[in-house]
Structure 1
């Protein structure tokens, strides 16, 4: 057997040398993911990094931009505040999705109706999984939100926030952090109640739906939870059409801004 054949069978192959930007980005990414740079830590200045890596400031700037786009770094307030490490858990994923989706909505590449429909596709399985995996802590949070909803009036500006928190907490209870990240992001972006005319009847029925969801999740009845969520979403859609008119979805972008 020739040496060339042995080498081929072992699968040896040439590994391309990384560009300077990739070397900088790889090492900074590793430091963040391995905890050497913790959430909230300030990254050294471009000058300091350029000297440390022996590259140009332009190279450092490219690497930092890439890490920022990946959600690992964020610019602080002010023009001279520098870059800071962001969280790298599912909450970071939710923030990134919300930011990117908000920009896409503003550009008109997708419609608010598409975002709303996609959110609905996630909500039913979210409720079903929550009934299977809920904890006492998540039940307590859901109960607390319902108490806040019941103790306020339908015209309270905090009502949309209560609703978003309730749905996001159901997703958290599902035990699937990716699902939870997307549900939270879609609620913060779409804000389903922000473009609906809310009256006293709507508030009463919606809270009743939340109570039914809470009970089904508490009782670990996944099918009942899924049905309760489906009924809730159907009611929201019917209420939008009946109370706000067909132009309501198109007003969502204005409501977000």
Structure 2
């Protein structure tokens, strides 16, 4: 082996000891994230004040503020204004996931970055398997809950302000019955931001039709029939989406 080969071989086998050097803000963010996820700082616990964190990390307050803002956008902390406020560790579980996704989706819809139709379509892609899983995993208590919601829907008129809330309870309860907490969290978030009933000008005919569709969904879940459940929820969500689209087109004329 000549000297050139030796140099080349040595270079290719050299140990990798370097790593990406983070900026101060990124280093602070990463260390705080590790403290939260490791349980060093517990849920609902208040973090030290910005001045104290700046002292501990030997960085400026703006650097601390940027790191905290990044953690807030990730759903790891929340800020409370006022004299008794500060930065608090968020509860990191499937419920928190749903809230974070909902807030992010709300902002995207408000800014026009995504369309209502896009959100509604993704919601259908999630709710169809959720109903199928609910038909497999539901309990007697779950069926009793759905029956209670259906009875309340049946006794209220279409202009009752509780109708939208009952519809949300119906869909979110089914997603929870799926037994998949991540799926349930995502359905919660998307339903909250794409609830057609909140935007529909409900007529008695539409109210009766949506109630009948809900009844078909419950029937399939009670029978433990995943396929029938998938068909029923797909028909229901498609009906609502098409009804809303027709109403929007009529308003543009």
What TM-score results when the alignment is normalised by the length of structure 2?
Answer: 0.84
Confirm or deny that 1:127 pairs with 2:115: no
Confirm or deny that 1:206 pairs with 2:199: no
Matches of 2:65 and 2:141, distance apart in 1: 43
Tell me the secondary structure at the aligned position of residue 246 of structure 1.
helix
Matches of 1:22 and 1:138, distance apart in 2: 45
- Residue 49 of structure 1 corresponds to 53
- Residue 28 of structure 1 corresponds to 32
Structure number with bigger Rg? 2
Task: Map Cα deviations across residues 184-213 of structure 1 (whole Å, 9 max, x no partner).
Answer: 111111121111111223223322222222
Query: 1:226: Cα distance to partner?
Result: 0.6
Matches of 1:90 and 1:144, distance apart in 2: 25
- Residue 246 of structure 1 corresponds to 249
Matches of 2:24 and 2:96, distance apart in 1: 27
Query: 1:12: Cα distance to partner?
Result: 4.3
Task: Map Cα deviations across residues 197-254 of structure 1 (whole Å, 9 max, x no partner).
Answer: 1122322332222222223212221001111112212332344356x35257x9xxxx
One of 212, 223, 230 as aligned partner of 1:226 = 230
CA root-mean-square deviation: 2.9
Unaligned runs of 5+ in 1: 251-257
1:79/1:192 CA distance change after superposition, 3 Å? farther
Q: Tell whether the 8 Å contact from 2:46 to 2:87 is kept in structure 1 after alignment.
A: yes
Matches of 1:78 and 1:165, distance apart in 2: 34
Matched residue count: 248
Confirm or deny that 1:106 pairs with 2:104: no
**Where do residues 82-231 of structure 1 align in structure 2 (5 Å cutoff)?**
82-231=86-235
1:13/1:157 CA distance change after superposition, 3 Å? same
Matches of 1:60 and 1:98, distance apart in 2: 26
Q: Tell whether the 8 Å contact from 2:196 to 2:244 is kept in structure 1 after alignment.
A: no
Unaligned runs of 5+ in 2: 1-5
Query: 1:171: Cα distance to partner?
Result: 1.4
Task: Map Cα deviations across residues 76-115 of structure 1 (whole Å, 9 max, x no partner).
Answer: 1448721222121122222222222212212222222222
